[in-house]
Structure 1
Amino acid sequence: MGRARALVLAGVLVAVPALTGCIAEAGPSPTATPLTGPAASGTAQPPSTSAPLETTQSSNKAPVYWIGRSDSGVFLYREFRDVPDQENPVTRALRAMMSDKPLDPDFFTPWQNPSQLATSISGKDVITVDVSEDAFNSNLDADMAARAIQQLVYTATAAAASSGLIDSGQQIRVRILVDGHTDYVAFDHIQLGALMTRTAGLVAPVWIIDPQENVEVGGGSVKITGRSTTAGGKLRWQILQSRDNGAKEPFLTGETTASAEQGQAGVFTLALNLPPGDYELRVSQAGTGDQPDQYEDNRAFKVR
């Protein structure tokens, strides 16, 4: 299929000024079911913050959000995925979210591969997603259904932001249609059709951005980046090295502090000298007093 026809099928995207990221709303979407599950009522409640702001990038990689568990909570995690360029950036990111498997085996998606998917952007702040009913062929409870809808909202806004299609000065909103209609009840729980925004408090309290799961990096100084929802918060990290017998042994440990600077709030970086081998990185929010460390994220990677 030619690129021009594919873009027509996927919806016409309106080019708007480049941006520095998405703006997330502090409160829940008016159409979303209140979160009453582990992430809302767990004993260890994360800060009620939104996802890190996606920035405009020249890479063809698509930002895709997945669902994962950490301690007693269920959160959204992001990966950057290689995707074909036959469709517009928002459509191809959502197609990856609904059709592909996460790189990290700790993540999952309840969405099914849709027979039809189209997206468009109107004005400077509204993304419309029109998806076929077969994308919802999963049996979910109300809490997981709310997270699945937010997974779509986060992915759509991230893709529009990273490709420079949304004005950063506007609140980014998403309308979900099902086979062109506005009255669908997603997963038998969530009424669709009204404009939705990112719900705060769903993004993972700690996540590793780079390296991604099972990638190979060059020897010498290995750069590690990640984000925490606690700007200026202390993090503990550990590197384990895999042995020939499959056992993992501690190799390096340390602490770092997430940035508190505006525009970089929550970012943490490490530069480690690692010899060739197979490794696992673990990062968690440092506990205080009698509280243990929490919200660990882990990532397997190779140094060659």
Structure 2
Amino acid sequence: MLAVLLLTGCIANGGTTPVTTSPAVSVQDAPASNAPLETTQASTKIPVYWIGRSKDNVYLYREFRDISGDENPVTTALRIMMAEKPLDHDFFTPWQEPGSLATSISGKNVITVDISRDAFNSNLDAGMAQRAIQQLVYTATAAASSSGLINSGQQIQVVILVDGHTDFMAFGQVKLGQPMARDASLVAPVWIIDPQEDTTLAAGTIKVNGRITDSSKPVNWQILQDNGSGTRTSLLTGQVKAVGEPGQFGVFSFSANLKPGKYELRVAQGDDSGHSDESTLDTKLFSVN
């Protein structure tokens, strides 16, 4: 996993998504707490992970989606991940809608996902296949944890079966059947939680929430206003410190007073001199009425 990988994958709508080279880092090189589980919450929303690009890097990002139907939360989240498109236009999924999908959870915090082989009908290289499998692992564990179906204080693993069998080669690249945990090196260094893409907010004070994998790093933020002619002008900028243990994941928030209009929010990991690491950039488009 320490090799530099060329990542090129086909997304679910049949288009080709070229991605530049990105180093894969083994999970042992990052603290386990950099991939913490979601906390239990009473909500009609469910967490779903997608793959996204930030400059030359490829990371996993999370959105919250509406729950529909009467399937269990893990199956629901995985079905959304494979059959629907992300809200954020910068994200994508290489999965295809499966003919069959079932999930179960053991008393030892092991989630078993049994999926039909048609879900893997995309031509992926090793790097993208690795991220696609981790996309499933993150989504399954997030949905189970946020729904209170598992003990988030213990290690949680996912076993993927294909048509009831082990040893399937996912996308022709990754052998399945053994318990898998979250790979902390693949989650995005910074992401925006609220507002989500294409959200409409009330005019006045709007609040931004987000997370960062290393809370010792400051977060640089910028809000640009749409000029109505296809261009955007920088309106507000700032830097905020995350809340969390140094070197561990943390959360950040800040507020801004905005008039009606269309905006772009940009956040990135910063340094004390005020510079931003553009390879960690996350953006969201939203409106204010």
What is the TM-score normalised by the length of structure 1?
Answer: 0.83
1:186-212 alpha-carbon deviations (Å, 9 max, x no partner): 000111001110012100011001000
2:8 is aligned to none
How big is the alpha-carbon RMSD for the aligned residues of Structure 1 and Structure 2?
Answer: 2.0
Provide the C-alpha distance between the structure 1 equivalents of 2:220 and 2:35, rounded to a whole number of angstroms.
21
Q: Is the 8 A contact 1:66 1:102 kept in 2?
A: yes
Residue type matched to 1:81 in 2? R
- Relative to its length, the structure with more strand (as a share) is 2
Provide the C-alpha distance between the structure 2 equivalents of 1:300 and 1:293, rounded to a whole number of angstroms.
20
Residue type matched to 2:166 in 1? T
1:105 correspondence with 2:76: no
Provide the C-alpha distance between the structure 1 equivalents of 2:277 and 2:135, rounded to a whole number of angstroms.
26
1:271 is aligned to 255
Q: Is the 8 A contact 1:239 1:253 kept in 2?
A: yes
Task: Report the more deviating stretch, 147-156 or 249-258.
Answer: 249-258
Alignment of 1:46-85 (within 5 A): 48-49=30-31, 50-85=34-69
1:50-76 alpha-carbon deviations (Å, 9 max, x no partner): 334311111121110000111221100
In the alignment, structure 2 segments of 5+ residues that lack a partner are: 6-20
Provide the C-alpha distance between the structure 1 equivalents of 2:22 and 2:108, rounded to a whole number of angstroms.
32
1:128 correspondence with 2:96: no
Provide the C-alpha distance between the structure 1 equivalents of 2:221 and 2:46, rounded to a whole number of angstroms.
27
1:299 is aligned to 284
1:166 correspondence with 2:150: yes
Q: 1:169 to 1:229 in 2, by over 3 A?
A: closer
Q: Secondary structure at the match of 2:184?
A: coil
Q: Secondary structure at the match of 2:40?
A: coil
Q: CA deviation at 1:288?
A: 5.8
Residue type matched to 1:299 in 2? K
Residue type matched to 2:46 in 1? A
1:116 correspondence with 2:100: yes
1:202 is aligned to 186
Q: CA deviation at 1:176?
A: 0.2
Task: Report the more deviating stretch, 286-295 or 105-114.
Answer: 286-295
Q: Secondary structure at the match of 2:158?
A: strand
Q: Is the 8 A contact 2:189 2:212 kept in 1?
A: yes
Q: Secondary structure at the match of 1:180?
A: coil
Which of 144, 149, 153 is matched with 2:133 structurally? 149
Residue type matched to 2:4 in 1? T
Residue type matched to 1:48 in 2? A
Q: Secondary structure at the match of 1:56?
A: coil
1:278-302 alpha-carbon deviations (Å, 9 max, x no partner): 1000011114669753311110001
Q: Is the 8 A contact 1:52 1:227 kept in 2?
A: no
1:228 correspondence with 2:196: no
1:36 correspondence with 2:4: yes
Provide the C-alpha distance between the structure 2 equivalents of 1:69 and 1:134, rounded to a whole number of angstroms.
25
1:10-62 alpha-carbon deviations (Å, 9 max, x no partner): xxxxxxxxxxxxxxxxxxxxxxx6663244269xxxx8353343111111211
Q: Is the 8 A contact 1:39 1:75 kept in 2?
A: no
Provide the C-alpha distance between the structure 2 equivalents of 1:210 and 1:102, rounded to a whole number of angstroms.
15
Return the structure number with greater relative CO, CA threshold 8 A, min gap 6.
1
Provide the C-alpha distance between the structure 1 equivalents of 2:134 and 2:148, rounded to a whole number of angstroms.
21
In the alignment, structure 1 segments of 5+ residues that lack a partner are: 1-32
2:162 is aligned to 178
Task: Report the more deviating stretch, 153-162 or 65-74.
Answer: 65-74
1:107-162 alpha-carbon deviations (Å, 9 max, x no partner): 01000000000000011410000000000000000011000000000000000000
